[in-house]
Chain A
Amino acid sequence: QKEVEQNSGPLSVPEGAIASLNCTYSDRGSQSFFWYRQYSGKSPELIMFIYSNGDKEDGRFTAQLNKASQYVSLLIRDSQPSDSATYLCAVPNQGGKLIFGQGTELSVKP
């Protein structure tokens, strides 16, 4: 059974700082990874996906993948209070399913 692990947090950072969210996965064969953002009371929103080792940048967001160590990170630069949300990491499973981590709650303090 594949597993995806995230620290539940809450992770608290001051406004303007870099927030670093981490996710580890059990299946060494996993090829793609997704980050979702979920505001309180809302549905998850896909914000990043990464398939290759290394970094992928999109605006203030950078996803980092290290397949040898089996972890994927999400960095949020210049964190804003509007970034306060729960961030979910997901890994594909057979049949087109996704396995989600428990999510990390991020709080950005003004």
Chain B
Amino acid sequence: DGGITQSPKYLFRKEGQNVTLSCEQNLNHDAMYWYRQDPGQGLRLIYYSQIVNDFQKGDIAEGYSVSREKKESFPLTVTSAQKNPTAFYLCAASSRGQGNYEQYFGPGTRLTVT
């Protein structure tokens, strides 16, 4: 059963705590992405990685960090420096090199920080 998994589905944290969101894919796709979506808003790119051990900042990277030690995994850490961390976080994967760039999304993690 191929796909992208994100865990947990819902996450609650106290302000000032770091939290790590999991994203795993078994599609054998090279590229992976993290987006943030706020109510009624579009998708904003946080970080992306085109290959293992390499990643780049997206449009709103401040207060977030990532790692890409394995092709299958791209965890996102929301640090205490992120001012408004409550949002819906989406992970996506894409097969590079084919010129198509379509991205496939995981089910998302809804983070609430109080």
Binding site for B on A (CB under 8 A): 31-32, 34, 42-46, 49, 88, 90, 92, 95-98, 100-103
Taking the complex as formed, is B48 at the interface, i.e. its CB lies under 8 A from any CB of chain A?
Answer: yes
Q: Is there contact, CB below 8 Å, between A44 and B90?
A: yes
Cα of A34 to Cα of B45 in the assembled complex, Å: 17
Taking the complex as formed, is B1 at the interface, i.e. its CB lies under 8 A from any CB of chain A?
Answer: no
Beyond A46-B104, A90-B103, A100-B43, list 6 extra A-B contacts (CB 8 Å): A32-B99, A43-B105, A43-B107, A96-B48, A97-B45, A102-B41
- With A42-B107, A44-B105, A103-B42 in contact, is A97–B100 under 8 Å at CB? no
Chain B contact residue count (CB 8 A cutoff): 23
Q: Is there contact, CB below 8 Å, between A46 and B102?
A: yes
Q: Is there contact, CB below 8 Å, between A96 and B31?
A: yes
Shortest CB distance A46–B (Å)? 6
Closest to A31 in B: B99
Q: Is there contact, CB below 8 Å, between B42 and A43?
A: no
Q: Is there contact, CB below 8 Å, between A101 and B107?
A: no
Shortest CB distance A94–B (Å)? 10
Q: Which residues of B are found within 8 Å of A49, using beta-carbon distances?
A: 100, 102
Binding site for A on B (CB under 8 A): 31, 33, 41-43, 45, 48, 50, 56, 58, 90, 94, 96, 99-108
Q: Is there contact, CB below 8 Å, between B48 and A95?
A: yes
Closest to B58 in A: A97
Cα of A101 to Cα of B105 in the assembled complex, Å: 16
Cα of A34 to Cα of B58 in the assembled complex, Å: 20
Cα of A97 to Cα of B48 in the assembled complex, Å: 8
Q: Is there contact, CB below 8 Å, between B103 and A98?
A: yes
Q: Which residue of the partner chain, among A44, A98, A100, A102, contacts B101 with CB atoms under 8 Å?
A: A98
Shortest CB distance B60–A (Å)? 13
Cα of A59 to Cα of B100 in the assembled complex, Å: 21
Q: Which residues of B are found within 8 Å of A46, using beta-carbon distances?
A: 102-104
Cα of A92 to Cα of B96 in the assembled complex, Å: 12
